[in-house]
Amino acid sequence: MNLERTHSIYFIGIGGIGMSALARYFVAKGLTVGGYDKTQTEITNALENLGVSIHFDDNINQVESEFLNPDTTLIVYTPAIPGSHGELNYFKSNGFEVLKRSAVLGEITKQTFCLAVAGTHGKTTTTSILGHLLNACDVEVTAFLGGISENYNSNLILKGTDVTVVEADEFDRSFLALSPDFACITSMDADHLDIYGNASELIKSFEDFSEKIKPNGKLFVKNGLPIKGITYGIEDDSDYSVKNIKIINGSYVFDVKTPNTLLENFKFSLPGRHNLSNALIALAMSVEYGLPHPQLAKALASYKGVKRRFTYQIKTEDLVYIDDYAHHPEEINAVHQAVREMYPNRKVLAVFQPHLYSRTQDFANEFATSLSQFDEIILLDIYPARELPIEGVTSKWLLDKIRNNNKKLVGKSELIDQIKASDASVLLTIGAGDIGEEVKHIKNVLSIAN
């Protein structure tokens, strides 16, 4: 990749959360940016407002002329794009440099001091906390986020280009293209078995990722994971450990034991021990980078979260509505722990949209166990994303496995009426599919009703 001769960049799948962050980055660098996506969304609208030209038909004739010169245009695509995509095949056949998003991100990390966040859960929240801490401590940082930060209303934090913060995505082994100085691994639960086949192959890929760290770099690992590094954990004997936890006015207040000292009186407002763990590793990496305790404490207290990560939509005495991106059984368990900790005596209704036929098939029993913990469960049909149906794998099949009599399978057209019929005072919408598109409507209807 030669960015010196690149004047324009064309993104195939520009509306993806990772792709759009890269697009924003290159807009800020002064390049001409355009792209294709199959669906118009708030993300594509925001890019168009920045001057990015986007169209929504796979049609090379709709690509503007400034992106049709192979000598000056770089083509970037996401692995979610099918191999049969017309525009992608045109560019591959006509002399263009065509790279996956991960390769472009990897090239950027080689040229900067990179802090990378890996793990099957917690990447987006941890990355956004870390980016926020560095930005608030005046580090010349660019942070590529896998979600929309509530602090910046963006999936890109851009203060400078000396340091990068990136999500190290294990899907499609994309993180093996990165060259981090500091890296952390938050978790290695089995996932993406459609890519890896089995859990041991997934673990091997994390081992391979750990070997991508630059000389004299540092690896941080959640205590208990089978990879050696600087350990972190909650109320344990890790190198970095959260101590003296209190909940005051709905926020965690805690101290951090480091290898050398005790840093006192941090405040963090995201519920759930999983989020507390995410905050800890962001703090540990920041401390090792050399940032001072007083500035870090002030920055963490001002962190607001990521959209669709335990995001409060309604928060009143009578009704709480929380939306979350959780799409793996362990993530649902984490959401359950957080909501029970914050609302121990309330009835909780969970609306869940399974994401991918393969993931539903691989973890059906675990999904059933995690969902059974809620007081009431509504299932939507499986969101297929990039997949074709698998015979016998349906939401009805999953529903039958849930050991809770207060459960229903409903279509989206019935969802609002079913939610309104419930007497639960805490509502959760959970999933990584297009359930996120329903959130605003649900919020509006419930706000009027209450």
Q: Where in the chain is the domain with CATH 3.40.1190.10?
A: 112-301
11-25, 185-199, 271-285, 293-307: least confident range: 185-199
- Whether 442 shows a pLDDT value over 80: the answer reads yes
> Which position has the token pair 């995410």?
278
Q: Where in the chain is the domain with CATH 3.40.50.720?
A: 8-100
- Whether 235 shows a pLDDT value over 80: the answer reads yes
Superfamily for the 311-449 domain: Mur ligase, C-terminal domain (3.90.190.20)
Q: Say what the pLDDT of residue 308 is.
A: 87
In this prediction the pTM is: 0.83
58-72, 87-101, 118-132, 182-196: least confident range: 182-196
Tell me what percent of the residues of the chain surpass a pLDDT of 90: 81
Closest by Cα among 73, 77, 103 to 88:
77
- Whether 42 shows a pLDDT value over 90: the answer reads no
Closest by Cα among 432, 441, 376, 439 to 402:
376
Diameter of the chain by CA atoms? 64
CA–CA separation, 14 and 39 (whole Å): 10
Residue 2 banded pLDDT, cuts 50, 70, 90: low
CB 234 within 8 A of CB 243: no
CA–CA separation, 293 and 264 (whole Å): 9
Section 61-78 average pLDDT: 96
What are the residues whose beta carbons fall under 8 Å from the beta carbon of 377, sequence distance 6 or more?
349, 350, 352, 371, 402, 404, 406, 407, 408
CATH fold group of domain 112-301: UDP-N-acetylmuramoyl-L-alanine:D-glutamate ligase (3.40.1190)
CA–CA separation, 83 and 89 (whole Å): 8
Mean pLDDT estimate for the chain: 93
Q: Say what the pLDDT of residue 19 is.
A: 95
Superfamily for the 8-100 domain: NAD(P)-binding Rossmann-like Domain (3.40.50.720)
Q: Where in the chain is the domain with CATH 3.90.190.20?
A: 311-449
| Residues 93-139: tens digit of each pLDDT | 999 999 999 999 999 999 899 999 999 888 999 999 999 999 999 99
